[in-house]
Amino acid sequence: MIAGPQPLGPRLGTPGPDQGYALLIARRLAPDLDLQAGEVEEDVIQGCLGVALKRASLFGRAPVVHDWRVAFTVWGFYDPDPPDDLLALRRTMFEGVGNVLHHYTEARRIADMVPEATLRMTPALADSNYPERWRTLLGVTAGDAA
Per-domain boundaries in the chain:
21-26+35-138
Mean pLDDT along residues 130-135: 98
3-state secondary structure of 3: coil
Bond from prior residue into 123 cis (ω within 30 degrees of 0) = no
Write out the DSSP string of 53-99: HHHHHHTTS---HHHHHHHHHHTTTT-SS--HHHHHHHHHHHTTTT-
pTM of the full structure: 0.87
pLDDT of residue 16: 61
pLDDT in tens, 54-80: 999 999 899 999 999 999 999 999 999
Is residue 112 predicted with pLDDT exceeding 90?
yes
